[in-house]
Each structure stands twice: as C-alpha cells, then as structure tokens.
Chains A and B, each alone.
Chain A
Amino acid sequence: MSALLSEDVLSHIGKQSEPRREIVTRRDIRKYAIATDNRQAKYLDGDVAPPLFHLHLFWDVVPLSELSPDGVSIDSLLPKFPLEKAMAGGLDITYHKPIKPGDWLTATRTLTNIYEKAGRSGPLIFYEVLMEVRGDDDELVVTEKTTRILR
C-alpha cells in the first residue's frame, strides 16, 4: 500500500506518448558534436552521429508559452506527483545501430513504473520512462531507460 502515491497517480503507469518521427541531418550532428566538445572527425563532419545524439533529436520541442517559469518543458507523460523536487536520475541506454544523416527515426516513450521508497530524510518517489527509437524498417536503434527521483 502506497502512503504517497494515490491510485490516480499509479494509474498512469503504462501510459505511452505519441510516437515522434524526426530526420537526422548532418548539420544537427555537427552542431551536437561541437557543442559537446567532441574532437573526432567522423562526428564533427557529421558522417555519423555520436552516442547520445538521440537526446538532441528527441528533446521535446515546445513553444515558449508552454515552458514553465523556470524554462522547463512539462512532460505530458507524467501525472502531478505529490513530491516535486527532482534529484539525480539515472540512465540505462543500449545502442543497437549507428545513426547516420538521412535516417528517419521514431521515438516512443512509455511511463513504465512509479514507486516510492523511504529515504534518509523522508520519502522518495521514483519513476521510470522507457524510450524506444526505431528506424523506418521498425528495427531498434536505441533503447533508453530513465529513472528519476523526486523528494
């Protein structure tokens, strides 16, 4: 029995985002490589995307009016949690195939779990989001599990 998490909050487990389809361009790869201090020619020239480039490709592009006052976009996949201060989160990523300019990729995000634990200074809420990135051939390109902690 959850002390903090209502049935309504927990009912969001399994919720899935609308799939998002984006094209990979050489220019985007180059910008990402430069901004991350990369120094390998294949990435700086945009021939292939460095690992983690899918973050850039699928970060939510929202209108300014939809950002909260601190400049953050509100994740529509998430319910309103009874705790709101975000703590360190973790990522678990599997790279199945390289990403190249011209690739069309589709990302689907699923809220896979919400649970609470007792922390040293009070209760903590954990939630997990699974993002699957696939090519137009439906083959997996990247799988990413994000775990976030709220206190």
Chain B
Amino acid sequence: MSKLNTYKDGPGEDGHFGLFGGRYVAETLMPLILEVEQAYNDAKDNDAFQTELRGYLKNYVGRPSPLYFAERLSNKLDGAKIYFKREDLNHTGAHKVNNCLGQILLARQMGKNRVIAETGAGMHGVATATVCALFDIPCTIYMGTTDIDRQAPNVSRMEMLGAEIIPVTSGTGTLKDAMNDALRDWVANVETTYYLIGTVAGPHPYPAMVRDFQSVIGEETRAQIMEHEGRLPDSLIACIGGGSNAMGLFYPFLDDEVRIIAVEASGEGIETGKHAASLNAGAPGVLHGNRTFLLQNDDGQIIDAHSVSAGLDYPGIGPEHAWLHDIGRAEYVSITDAEAIAAFQTCTRLEGIIPALESAHAIAHTIKIAGDLPKDHIMILNLSGRGDKDMDSVAAYLEANK
C-alpha cells in the first residue's frame, strides 16, 4: 500500500476521493447540490451551528455513547480485548440520529420547509422522522415494500412520529429503489425540499458531510479508549451497507497505526450471487450521484443486492470506502446471513445486548478473528444499532433454516 501523508483530506474540491465520488446528478438538482455544499461549508466553520449541534447530541441523543468492555465475549473468544462503542444506546437506537441532527439544522438554516429521506432497515427513517418531529418539519420517507414487510416495527414508529411513508414497489423494493424514488421526489420539489441522505453516499457533499456528522463516534472513541487503556486501539471493526457508521468510527483514526476492518454482507454467499458485497464482488460504476463499487452486470445494469439485514441490502457503498479499499488503507471482508444470525444470538446471550442484524455482521467477523489475536490486542467494534426491529426477521430466518 502506498503511504500517504494523510488519509483525511478527501474529497477534493470537485467532490472526488481518487476515482470515486463526484456529482453525477441531473442538471435540475445541480444548483441545489452546490447550495447544500455552500451551506455545509459555512456550517462547518460556524461556532453557533456546532454549539447547537453539540447541545442536541448531548442532551437529546444522550451522547457520548459508552465505550463498553465486552468481557464475556472477549473471554469466550480468548484473544483480543473487545470493546463495543454503544451507538445502540442513542436516542432512536442507532448511529443514524447523529447525522440527522446535523442535516436537519442545515435544512432549517437553508430555509427548506420539507424533508425527504430513504430508508432500508428503517433506522434512518425513524431518526429522520424523529428530528422532523422535533423541528416541526413535514417529512416523507421512501421505503421499499420488501423492507416495509421485514421492518414493520420501524414503520409504525415512523408513522407515530408523523412521517408519511411512501412504499416503493420498483426493483426489489429495497434501499436502492427507495433512493431512486427519493431522488425523483427531490427533482420535482427541489425549491422547497431538503433530501436528508442517511449514509456516506450520494452526490458530493453528502459523503463528506455525513462522514463529518458521524465522526463524533470516532472522536469520542479516541478519548474513551485513552481513558480505559491509556493508548489507541490496535483495530477497529464495523459493518458497512452504505458505510456511515464505519466512516464515523474510522475517520478520526485514518492517520494512526490502527488496523481498520469493514464488514460487508455476503448474504447467502458471494458464490450464490445473492449478496450485498459490492467491494468484494462488484466493480466501479456510477449510481445515485457518485462513482463507487457497484453490483452490476456486464452491460452496466445494476443488480439487486441481497442480505438478511435490510440496512446492508444495497448494491453500492460510500465512495470514500471505495477509495480506502482501492488504496489499501482498510480491509473489506464479508459475512453471510447465517454467520450474522449466529453472532446475533451469541452477543445476545453472552452480553445481554441485542444487536441490530447490521451490527451482528461486525460481531460475526470479530468472532472469526479475535481468537487468533494476542491478549493485549485492543479491538473496538461499532455496535451501530439495537436489534429490537429485527426480532421478526431473526425468528423467520431461524424457522426457515431449522
């Protein structure tokens, strides 16, 4: 791997991380994308904005989230010392709210009076509906019909919070299709509407902006591990669909001597074709406003992803991850549905923590490798969300695979 002076200065002014990223959007949206970028650049350096955001993160979300030593899991694996960054304890139950608060403050500053969002597992939809309730802004959430079926509790939560849910039937009715329809809504309502993207994907400035709003995870982790251990960790691990919880944990550590591991969903196995492993089994392409690794056929048509976890069920990946993969700064591995379900059960029984199925992918890989690592190896896993929403999916999976 070629060593750079810093891995933290991307994207360039044109919104690219190396080959990846960019602003591949229709002209109708382009002026607004530039406006969002300007507004975000202003907010980044604005003390009042940052102070207000920090206040909400502390008093509304409950930050900092704890860094918890998973002692029983560590003992069982008999290797690395494993810590969980407890994003599952945030208000709304996942890391998603960190980004939603940042963007809703930006939307308000830009004078937008309507918010739209896409959601897969529903965690981003719930977080968006939550901040929209808090700031009294009408909100429309696009969600694929497949995901509506498998994430019913989150659909009820969003409706209770006052969001309008629009079921998306095109494609396989999952996250990719929800994002297409959200983009179509945005093109049609560009003057009034703010598109609150939930992950580190989409056109520039979204990948950088969402990463920055999620970096609170890694910044807190740095301070907390110094307090616990007096030194930086040896490795970090997180699951990736679009990759926002992973970028949030990784970014503040990119220039340190820390091993970074991201876990994709390989569904029923990469060899079956039913997976969501865009870095391990995809190729560079352009979708949803950015160039990144995509699951696609030889003719450039996007292939539907598959994962038992709705939040990872996306045929692409954030462009900064594509770049980190390309230059070799982070390792990108994959975990199957079966491995994730087993890890979900292990974590629940050993630690009394029910993880989101997404986070269970990171746990599964930890279970695979931790035993071979030395006892003084400190590993931090981003427990990105809680698994209450996944009870039905896990029960159905276990029933079908008895």
**Do A and B truly interact?**
no
B residues at A contact (CB < 8 Å): none
